[in-house]
Chain A
Amino acid sequence: MTIRIDPEENEIRALVNMAEFNGKHVLEIGCGKGRLTWRYARLAAHVTAIDPFVDGIAKAREDLPEDLQSRVEFHPIAFEDFAASKEAATYDLAILSWSLC
């Protein structure tokens, strides 16, 4: 299988041009298998990435590079449940990753 997703890196270029990641605590909603997460995680202080689909999160955890293990955490949870468990004013940056619709 030779699937190539956004090899031009148009998505990450648009994201990095728009958002400041340095030193930020990021919440990514709808991370799937971590496709986009990998591309910006090294720029951020910490990333919490969530998705309701257990298989996607399992794959993301499996593929998590060692140097990112202290910086990125993946949770298989729906956003409404996640938000209900979190205190206000926790994140510097939230990313809705193709997940609002």
Chain B
Amino acid sequence: MKHESMVHALEEILRLLKPGGTLIDIHPVVQAWLCEVTQGSKAVFAEPSPTYDYEEDLIQADVALAQVVQRRLFDRDIEGEFDFLTYASSAAELREFLKKASAYEDSLQDDEVTARAEELAARVEQIRQACGEGAEVAAHERGRITLLRPVI
């Protein structure tokens, strides 16, 4: 989605909000998510995913939010970030889950990206198995949360 469509969506949200209402936006920060091997609460391996292909969409979302603030439709009130992890018991399980989760998205990965993703998954699985019992594989995203208030 281009930022013009996102701005239009934000204008519609503004219309739907009651006076004194609030908008919360949650979306990932502009950086590749990490493929990790974790043991307990500690990451023993982390590498950016080669399948990260939505950077432009995230930039467009940030531009759209900046535009509605600049146009004085919303005030950006509070902003924060948080870690968002999805754990699986193996690299194959994580890949299968992420594949299903992104089944509705229209991006197609080329052969080179697929090959790199497969190579990373194989390495991650080796490391997980070497770590022994309790080791998991995780997709680690960084989320940004923003509270916006309509400007009266």
Q: Which of B53-82 contact A (CB under 8 A)?
A: 54, 57-58, 60-61, 64-65, 78, 80, 82
Partner of B88, one of A2, A6, A94: A2
Query: Is B19 an interface position by the 8 A CB rule?
Result: yes
Is the pair B84, A6 in contact by a Cβ cutoff of 8 Å? yes
Is the pair A5, B86 in contact by a Cβ cutoff of 8 Å? yes
- By beta carbon, the residue of chain B nearest A5 is B86
What's the interface size class on B, roughly? Answer: 35 or more
Query: Is B131 an interface position by the 8 A CB rule?
Result: no
Is the pair B80, A94 in contact by a Cβ cutoff of 8 Å? no
Tally the A-B contacts, defined by beta carbons under 8 Å.
132
Is the pair B83, A92 in contact by a Cβ cutoff of 8 Å? no
Give B contacts to A, CB under 8 Å: 1, 6, 8-10, 12-13, 15-28, 54, 57-58, 60-61, 64-65, 78, 80, 82-89, 93-94, 97, 104, 143, 145, 147
Of the A-B pairs whose beta carbons lie under 8 Å apart in the complex, a sample of 14, sorted by A's number, is A1-B97, A3-B97, A18-B78, A19-B24, A79-B9, A83-B15, A89-B15, A92-B20, A93-B21, A94-B22, A95-B23, A98-B26, A98-B27, A100-B64
